[in-house]
Structure 1
Amino acid sequence: MTTAIKRSDRRVSPVFLGIAAVTAAAGWATWTGFAQTTGLAVFLFVTGAWIVSLCLHEYAHARTALHSGDISVGAKGYLTLNPLKYTHALLSIVLPVVFVIMGGIGLPGGAVFIERGRIRGRWRHSLISAAGPLTNIAFAVVCTAPFWLDALDGVPTAFRYALAFLALLQVTAALLNFLPVPGLDGYGVIEPWLSHKIRRQVEPFAPFGLLAVFGILWIPEVNIAFFDAIHWALSALGIEELESYCGQNLYRFWQGDSPVCTTG
């Protein structure tokens, strides 16, 4: 029962609030072009917003697990949105940020430990796994709202580009997470419906699932098909490929400006 959760276990962490404050300040600097530091402002804004989305991703897993019967998530600190409380902060926060910096791709997180034995019902197990990437989809919808609502009048170009790149990260994270690969949330969705024999056979491969996915993405044909799907989804949300490209270019400000991207 959720009544066993202490109020302190639900209190939003100062760490998360600090990250959100930095994100808001960087967003303001991006919008206003404060002190002519647009590239740095975009970097801080997108990185901060990306970490916020990772926290919300993990929170969604934990919150759904709580209402499905696992009250242990409260004592573990998962309901505070504190990224330092995750069982594998390296996998959930550090590596996703590094991948964004290096390659502009939304690496799936996934490091809250759910005590599955407390949960009854296959649908509940599936929903717990789906909750994280569904949060990324919701985040992408929010980021792209000015585009598909045709409400870009008055939105500075740099801020628009930053939103487009942030949306790309959310869409890639959702798509990768929903792949039915052991170790990813997509497999977690279908796992409860598999036979015990199949689950036992697949279990040893779970730690290597994400590595396998990124290895396959190195294949040029697969990489092209993957990003074609990403840009198709973004296009459906009103974002052109050039906008997300320019957002990434602004984000990686240390590489210099692209001649096709202007923020004036």
Structure 2
Amino acid sequence: MERFLAFNLEEIPYVVAVLLIAFTVHEFSHAYVAYKFGDPTAKNQGRVTLNPMKHLDPFGTILLLIAGFGWAKPVPVNRFYFKNPRLAGVLVSAAGPLSNLVVAAIGYAILYSFFASGQPIPVYVEPFINKLIQLNVVLFVFNLIPLPPLDGYRIVEDLVSNSTRAKMTQYENYGSLIFLILVIIPPLNAITIQPIFSIVIPFIYDLMNQFFTLFFY
């Protein structure tokens, strides 16, 4: 069975627990910021909540365990409620990935608190915190990729001109297909997805390690 999973069997309980947190916080952040900017759509659907059952997509969660990538239920956003649609749109889209970065930072803070105090980390706490950091950093980075339906695409969409936005809209339906092609086809994966894991994500780990080392020592 293990060969059909993206994680080792012993990691699965930690991965599931972390995904409950990461996906829930991510989608809650989208819904909360949209509501604060005047859009009640997500609020009316019960999405301004930290209840995981309101945010998890069963198939997207299972796929993440099997293939290493997945998704939660998208938060509905109605831009017509925003007084400044571009600014609100950028902030609503950015709220999700940034919330994952904050969760990762909290994980680092917990680890470094143990390191600084000299107290041993409980046997089940360290792997959970490590996975909390790992998956939230991955979600932060991947959601900023400028391909639909990812948050990075929505941010770019709100930053470009109306004419460019109209042209981008024509190709939105192909975004998921393009992403799958980049993930599945080895040559394309090697030049697009793999550098994210080999360069970008380690760079973020290094930055956060440096920050918390300065802060705690």
Please report the TM-score for the alignment, with normalisation by the length of structure 1.
0.64
Equivalent residue for 2:203, pick from 222, 232, 236: 232
Q: Which runs of 5+ in 2 are unaligned?
A: 1-8, 211-217
Aligned twin of 1:53 = 22
Aligned twin of 2:34 = 65
Aligned twin of 2:103 = 139
How far 1:140 sits from its partner (Å)? 0.7
Equivalent residue for 2:167, pick from 201, 204, 208: 201
CA distance in 2, matches of 1:230, 1:205: 28
8 Å CA contact retained: 1:148, 1:238: no
Instruction: List structure 1 runs of 4+ shifted beyond 6 angstroms.
Output: none
8 Å CA contact retained: 2:14, 2:131: no
Equivalent residue for 1:118, pick from 81, 99, 115: 81
CA distance in 2, matches of 1:202, 1:146: 42
8 Å CA contact retained: 1:108, 1:177: no
CA distance in 2, matches of 1:127, 1:113: 15
CA distance in 2, matches of 1:153, 1:207: 52
Aligned twin of 1:129 = 93
Whether 2:195 is the aligned partner of 1:220: answer no
Q: Within 5 Å, give how 1:84-163 maps onto structure 2.
A: 84-86=53-55, 89-90=56-57, 94-95=59-60, 97-105=61-69, 107-109=70-72, 111-121=74-84, 122-149=86-113, 150-151=115-116, 153-163=119-129
Please report the TM-score for the alignment, with normalisation by the length of structure 2.
0.76
Q: Deviations over 1:31-75 (max 9, x none)?
A: xxxxxxxx66x5334312311221111111111111111123222
**Identity of matched residues, %:** 24
CA distance in 2, matches of 1:94, 1:143: 27
Q: How many residues align?
A: 194
Aligned twin of 2:4 = none
How far 1:220 sits from its partner (Å)? 2.5
Equivalent residue for 2:151, pick from 170, 185, 197: 185
How far 1:207 sits from its partner (Å)? 3.8
Q: Which runs of 5+ in 1 are unaligned?
A: 1-38, 240-264
Structure 1 residues 162 and 134: CA distance shift in structure 2, 3 A: same
- Which structure has the larger Rg? 1
- The letter of the residue matching 1:222 is T
8 Å CA contact retained: 1:183, 1:208: no
Q: Deviations over 1:213-244 (max 9, x none)?
A: 343244224343111121232233339xxxxx
The RMSD of aligned alpha carbons is: 2.6
How far 1:154 sits from its partner (Å)? 1.1
CA distance in 2, matches of 1:190, 1:148: 35
- Could you say what secondary structure the match of 2:147 adopts? coil
- The letter of the residue matching 1:115 is N
Structure 1 residues 44 and 226: CA distance shift in structure 2, 3 A: same
